[in-house]
Copies of this chain bind each other. A is one copy, B any other.
């Protein structure tokens, strides 16, 4: 039985900001399934900063861009509503790259079946790409030791809020930066960060130094900009910087200058970039580790939920304006 549904295609590439004319809303009809295929009805779709990179043709990017005319790429969770695949029964929940669409046909490749009992919002907040990114960057790249001090920029974001909570669970002193006082209050009072600093307030460098009297051992970089320079000056010898995002520079044509490299020598720093497609093989193990934190009550999460597929078109910009208050997602 074919079903009519809505999907959103990418039809133009962004110059700087993401505008509605980049997208085309289309109505499609589900096809007859072939053997091995399933039909997924998406219930929640994730909106992530990486999406802007996926819209751009860039030979240096870590995954190919979305082709013009294709349905825009996104992670999400859905329910299997038809199945010709015995490993993927009707009624099961799956997670994976479903796309900006209400329905999708798949042969199951790249999809994970979800256990029962974990709310879908928790899946997208904790067990999806942002949580895996946080775990990989902090634990496998940064290799933190109990007692060390970490600064997390973009700490109220989907990745940053997970990084800080994992770091607390691992016995670190955790300082976050965010762009509003309300976010900072949530970090300290809601998530148990030791300190949170509004990077838009005066005296960022002084406040950071006061919050980190023993210096900074680890810096989890999500933003770039003024926070990067202020934290760089506070790094301790043998410090490690995990470079995950540079959201303050993604929407500019002239990215800001980085710090001079002399302190990299003097302090024997390691600065390391990482992206998740290099580490997909570790996801099952990382999901187990994150589920354990979740069950132990060590990880809280906050969803910022939009409603209806088309709300993504304007809503994605909340990520770049800092207007979201929690992991941004669309409930379909």
Contact = CB atoms under 8 A, between A and B. Distances in A.
A15 interface: no
Nearest to A228: B261
A273 interface: yes
A267 B224 contact: no
Contact of A267 (B60, B228, B264): B60
Stoichiometry, as copies per complex, reads 2
A224 B261 CA distance: 8
Nearest to A258: B258
A265 B243 CA distance: 6
Interface size class of A (residues with CB under 8 A): 35 or more
Given A258-B258, A260-B246, A273 B278 contact: no
A221 B261 contact: yes
Interface in A180-226: 221, 224
A260 B267 contact: no
A265 B275 contact: yes
Interface string A246-270: 1001100001111111111111111
Contact of A271 (B221, B246, B264, B266): B264
A299 interface: no
Contact of A273 (B258, B268, B273): B268
Nearest to A266: B60
Contact of A278 (B256, B264, B268, B271): B268
A6 interface: no
A263 B246 CA distance: 10
B246 A265 contact: yes
A274 interface: yes
A122 interface: no
A170 interface: no
User: Among A58, A61, A246, which residue has the most Cβ atoms of chain B within 10 A?
Assistant: A246
Please give me the 5 A-B residue pairs with the lowest Cβ-Cβ distance, nearest first: A257-B257, A264-B273, A258-B258, A255-B260, A265-B273
21 contacts: A60-B263, A60-B267, A62-B237, A62-B266, A224-B262, A228-B261, A243-B264, A246-B262, A255-B260, A256-B260, A257-B257, A258-B258, A258-B259, A261-B271, A264-B271, A265-B275, A266-B275, A268-B272, A268-B273, A268-B278, A271-B271
